[in-house]
Amino acid sequence: MYLHQLERLSRARLLSLFILCISGLFASNIVAQQATFSDNVLNIPKATVGQKAYSLDLGLSVNGANYDFGLLAASEIPFNGTEGASVFDGQILRVPSLAAGGVDYTLDLNLISSDPIIFRLATYSIVESSVQSKLEQATALYKESIDPQTVQMRCVVCHIQGGLAGGSDLLFTRSSSTSITTNFGIFSQFLDNRDTRRTKLLNKVRGIDHDGGVQLTEGSVGYTQFEKFLKLLLEYQAGV
């Protein structure tokens, strides 16, 4: 009976119900990434609803032949368009990229309940894999991790015009609409297709011959990502 009532609701009504259910949660800054599925939880880093965007956690429950996903948590994040995001149109939540078991999927989830919010898997398909170039991989990693978490949170404290490391070969710019491109270029110019430069940077962040001390501990997530970024960029420059 309730499902029949839902079907009679207008798309606008469903959209407003969805927004009301999650808009009271706190905002947080998250870079849009591929959706993931782990421990029966579907994490969607960016889902847009009209001109709003959210990070969602949906819990899976199997009901006979149906796969249902109930809303576990939601946080509003800044809306900056729908590129790369899952999109809710009032009835269907379309997930363009879900990484699970080494395979990339697209999902269509139908809203079957608005209180509580529950989606049901309608369709899915496997996305044909596409191999990114070394430059594309390095650029994506830099945007998602290196610039926001290492350069902006650590390096620019000193490595900036007028800073304590103002005489260094590496001078970055603070976060702005152009800082990612600018700072990426600085790393590229510094490496200059020389592995010795990569080694020097890795030593510096570990505190070796670095007035700024240890910034990234070897083996940490931040260090591993920085090491991977430099390797990808160097391989691109070497034409590997």
pLDDT tens for residues 199-215? 999 999 999 999 999 99
d(CA 72, CA 56): 8
Same-domain check for residues 112 and 11: yes
d(CA 106, CA 35): 10
Domain finish residue from 126, 153, 183: 126
**Tally of domains within the chain:** 2
The residues near 17 (Cβ < 8 Å, ≥ 6 apart) are 9, 114, 115
Contact status, residue 185 vs residue 178, Cβ threshold 8 Å = no
Same-domain check for residues 13 and 122: yes
Rg for the chain, CA atoms, rounded? 22
Same-domain check for residues 45 and 91: yes
pLDDT tens for residues 55-80? 999 999 999 999 999 999 999 999 98
* Domain membership of residue 81 as a residue range: 2-126
Same-domain check for residues 119 and 7: yes
To the question of pTM greater than 0.75 for the whole model, the response is: no
